Structure 1
């Protein structure tokens, strides 16, 4: 009884810590600046949509939204292709060499992103990939590839070996087995990994801040920083931008929730 009480108390405290800031942001997007500062936790006096109209009407935010969509879709797609190929090789090829390559790749998960920022910037600058959406896609793929390989490898190792042996007896080569057997069976894990990568790429502000200075190449999280001035921050507009930027992530999770849960549990039990 005592354990359950402590557990529920901790969960309730955690829920309050998460929900209260979210409610302040959501309600603040319908307020004016004086109203927000006078009553940050209260309900808005009226359901005004002026902030949303102003944010949507900003041309730079529209461009930033399109840039975020392009960078995120390309980054997720390319990462999934490369990670699935690497995971398939790691599970099907035996020997110390593939094990060493896999260990070296996974080692990238242990290296903090901030430690590589200076050499990454120098490299991308020398290649002419700064202020470039292609550069953002490449850096996102490189940074998130280790975690994607780790997730997909864990799932593919749980696939029954009988499937691969049967495919080999039927004359199916490695490439055909990958396309027609492994990829269809890996759909739950691929969907879960895609959602995970989507959240990371869509919300990333570190690498756009590092590589992008051209206003036409800014992504949405980076463009939202324009609402923060040196002496004054327009918090209602900033909160409105945060709500709009978060909407695609929330919608993706709502519609793909069953795939996300299936992907997280896939591979937990050996086939």
Structure 2
């Protein structure tokens, strides 16, 4: 077997693996879309296209599930969580980059515990603290929980990114009379776009799809976010699968659209700290 044949076999195998992975990823999306358009009064067939597309399932899902109200709740929590987490992790990563070596390393290891410990480990303690602070059953309280649980990875990514930025750039700005505040926001911040986009989509995905924390810390139905709002389609003896799947499609659409717009920055941000240069 010559070199050309081996190359063709390897290329064919790569395509087959890629096609298999694509089918594996798209099959759940196909089931989600088809079930959401099937007749609510008919039999449920996840792998069959409906004879008639029942688009009214989406309208009914919005009304039944009160999705507009829950969308506002999710968006409120998302804005608070992403803005505070991005700002705090960016400043922490920059401070750790310029801190004394041994102190910065120990503090960084403390933050890394957030990647090791499970997020639900301190649920009882967090619940009691929020109750004492009158933040239980509030969007601000939920945002605090999501921020505290989501700082570790963004800090890690920012720190690795700042380590690749030559110190000469900042030193030149200081020599030109740039203050510390202006140095960070006009020199350092603009070059963090790739890692900021990566952190933003990670934080936004975690906040938007969070089910456990809203279920625990937002007991009131009026305060629910979209993932917990899906429980409205589950009744005591039956589940309206068509409306449930239609609601799931609408919930997944905004965050998927966001990912499409920023996905070109994600790989750059993740590997931004892998190579010094």
Pairwise same-fold verdict (TM > 0.5): yes
* TM-score normalised according to structure 1 size: 0.92
Q: Mind listing any 5+ residue stretches in structure 2 that lack a counterpart?
A: 1-5
Contact 1:159 1:267 in 2 (8 A): no
**Residue 256 of structure 1: CA displacement?**
1.9
Give the Cα–Cα distance (whole angstroms) in 2 for the partners of residues 169 and 58 of structure 1. 62
Q: Mind listing any 5+ residue stretches in structure 1 that lack a counterpart?
A: none
Deviations 1:95-127 (A, max 9, x none): 322221121012111001122212221221222
Matches within 5 A, 1:1-271: 1=6, 8-37=15-44, 39-58=45-64, 60-271=66-277
Give the Cα–Cα distance (whole angstroms) in 2 for the partners of residues 5 and 231 of structure 1. 50
**Residue 4 of structure 1: CA displacement?**
5.7
Residue 36 to residue 104, structure 1, CA distance change in 2 (3 Å): farther
Contact 1:108 1:146 in 2 (8 A): yes
Deviations 1:13-70 (A, max 9, x none): 3332322121011111111245452x32111111221111112234732111000011
Give the Cα–Cα distance (whole angstroms) in 1 for the partners of residues 11 and 134 of structure 2. 58
**Residue 175 of structure 1: CA displacement?**
2.5
Residue 93 to residue 43, structure 1, CA distance change in 2 (3 Å): same
Give the Cα–Cα distance (whole angstroms) in 2 for the partners of residues 151 and 142 of structure 1. 16
Match of 2:3 in 1: none
Which deviates the most, 6-15 or 20-29? 6-15
Aligned length: 270
Give the Cα–Cα distance (whole angstroms) in 2 for the partners of residues 87 and 14 of structure 1. 36
**Residue 231 of structure 1: CA displacement?**
2.3
> What RMSD over aligned residues (CA atoms) do the two structures have, in Å?
1.9
- Name the SS for the 1:113 alignment partner: coil
Give the Cα–Cα distance (whole angstroms) in 2 for the partners of residues 33 and 59 of structure 1. 16
